[in-house]
Amino acid sequence: MTSTLGDESLTRDAFLGGRVQVWQPVQGYRAGIDPVMLAAAVAAVPGQAVLELGCGAGVAALCLGARVPGVTVTGVEIQAEYAALARRNGAENGISFDVVEADVGALPAGLRAQAFDHLMMNPPYFDRALGTESADAGRDVALGGDTPLAVWIDAGTRRLRSGGWMTVIQRAARLPEVLGALKGRLGSVVVLPLAARAGRRADLFLLRGRKGGRAPFRLLAPLVLHDGDRHLRDGDDFAASVKAILRDGAALDWGD
C-alpha cells in the first residue's frame, strides 16, 4: 500500500550528512541517532543479504544501504503507515529495500524460507507489561509493542544462516534479557555500552553475536557519544568518532 499520510503531516529529514533523506511523521515515532548507530555496527559487505526486524520508516536500512552499495536489505514492519513510508523512502533514495508488512512473531512463509548474512534490529525499548504507553499509536508500538523481546531474538536467530551475525541496539536495563534469549543460540557475543558523556552510566548498548560463533564473550569499554561533561554550546558536540558515523557514514569500530 501507499502511505495515506499527506506530506503536510510529514517532515523530510537528513541523515548521514544529507546522503539519506527520510520522510517521517510529524506526530509519532521519529528516528534519532539510534538506528544510524545500529546501521554503522553491521559489518555487511556488497552482495550480502541483510534483514531488519522493525524497520519503521527505514532509517537504519537506508543508512546501511548508503554505506554499503550492493547490499540487499529486507525490512519487516508491522505498522502499515510506516511500512509504506519505508518503501517510499527506499525508492526516493535509490536504495534497494524490500519491505514486508508483518508481525515479527508471525513472519510470512516466504520470508521464513530465506536465510540472511546479517540481522539487525532496534526492538521496542520498553516492556509493555510494565505499563509504558504513549498516546500516539505509532509511537506506542515502536517504543512498547506487544511482542516480547525474546520473540524478536528467536525470529532473528532463525533467519540467520550459519556464520551470520545479529546486531541489536537496546536499553542497558534489558541486557540480561537479551543475553538470556541468546544463550545457546549465538556465540562470539560482543557488547558495546553507549554512554552520553564520560563518567556517566551507559543507557544503551550495541550487541552483536554470530550463529555458530565460538569466541568468548567480550564486554567493551563504553563508547562516549559526546565530548565534555555537559552541553556548553549551540549545535551538537558529538565525539569525533561518533560524528564520523552520523555525518560521514563511517562504520562503527568493534575493535577486532
Which pTM was predicted?
Answer: 0.89
* pLDDT at residue number 140: 41
- 3-class DSSP state of 65: helix
Please provide the average confidence, as pLDDT, over all residues in the chain. 90
In the predicted structure, residue 226 carries a pLDDT above the cut 80: yes
The number of distinct structural domains making up the chain is 1
pLDDT in tens, 32-61: 999 999 999 999 999 999 999 999 999 999
What integer is the mean pLDDT of 145-160? 92
> Is residue 253, in this structure, part of any structural domain at all?
no
Q: Which residues contact 127 (CB under 8 A, 6 or more apart)?
A: 144, 149, 174
In the predicted structure, residue 144 carries a pLDDT above the cut 50: no
Reading the block at residue 39, the C-alpha cell is 546501521
* pLDDT at residue number 230: 66
Strands 72-77 and 49-53: parallel
Amino acid, single-letter form, for residue 140: D
Q: Which domain holds residue 236?
A: 7-248
In the predicted structure, residue 4 carries a pLDDT above the cut 60: no
Q: Which residues pair with 169 in a beta bridge?
A: 206
In the predicted structure, residue 122 carries a pLDDT above the cut 70: yes
**Pairwise CA distance, residues 72 & 49, whole Å:** 5
CATH number reported for the structural domain that contains residue 93 in this entry: 3.40.50.150
> Is residue 167, in this structure, part of any structural domain at all?
yes
Q: Residue 245, Cβ neighbours under 10 Å: how many?
A: 25
> Is residue 1, in this structure, part of any structural domain at all?
no
**Pairwise CA distance, residues 184 & 149, whole Å:** 16
> Is residue 221, in this structure, part of any structural domain at all?
yes
Confidence of residue 143 (pLDDT cuts 50, 70, 90): very low
